[in-house]
Structure 1
Amino acid sequence: MERNKTIEETKDYIGMWVTKDGHIRHELLPNNRYDEARGNRKSAYQGSYKITGNHIDYKDDTGFTADGVFKDGVLYHAGMILCKEKN
């Protein structure tokens, strides 16, 4: 039986992740950096991230840390639910 690959293995995390109302937008860049927009405020938070399996650890440039998990194509982070924006 073939096991499901983690998001770390597929690299499907790269791209824009958005809340349903579009207020929060996380752009996960291929260089392990992220840029978060909130409402009309572009680049509200920026920093680095690390993917381990289906888990993400964030560290913004001020030192604040947070984490999340990818499950069934959805990113659960700090009480938010983000879906990957389709191209």
Structure 2
Amino acid sequence: MNTHDTPSPVPHPYVGMWVTADGHIRQELLPNGRYDEARGTRRSAYTGNYTVTGDHLEYVDDTGFTATGDVRNGVLYHEHLVLYREDEVPAHDDGR
């Protein structure tokens, strides 16, 4: 390791892909404080900045719209949405 190299900081534990149970909404929290939210087939439907304080998130999209979210028990409650880690989405009971 070069003496001028610095190790990459460990990303915040909330960084990564969050999705609704039906997969329609996908919100990626990026390590640089940006987010990118897809809705259905519409990629980057919403983009902007986010900050985390404890388990609370504050969002400001690129148009200036603001929103909030809270992580409780590993689930992200973002305004009226409930999002799960991409690899932890609960299975649907579709009656089959």
Question: When the two structures are superposed, what TM-score results if normalisation uses the length of structure 1?
Answer: 0.86
Alignment of 1:14-53 (within 5 A): 14-53=15-54
Unmatched tracts of structure 1, length 5 or more: 1-9
Bigger RCO (CA 8 Å, 6+ sep): 1
Higher-strand-fraction structure: 1
Give secondary structure in 2 for the equivalent of 1:86.
helix
Query: CA deviation digits over 1:31-87, x for unaligned, max 9?
Result: 000000000000001000000000000000000000010001000011111001129
Letter in structure 1 aligned against 2:26 = R
**Aligned partners of 2:82 and 2:47: how far apart in 1?**
19
Could you tell me how far apart the structure 2 residues matched to 1:67 and 1:84 are? Answer: 17
1:60 and 1:11 mapped to 2: Cα distance?
20
Counterpart Cα distance in 2 of 1:24 and 1:60: 16
Q: Output the aligned Cα RMSD.
A: 1.5
- The one-letter amino acid of 1:48's match is N
Given the two structures, how large is their TM-score scaled by the length of structure 2?
0.78
Partner of 1:63: 64
Q: Which runs of 4+ in 1 moved over 6 A?
A: none
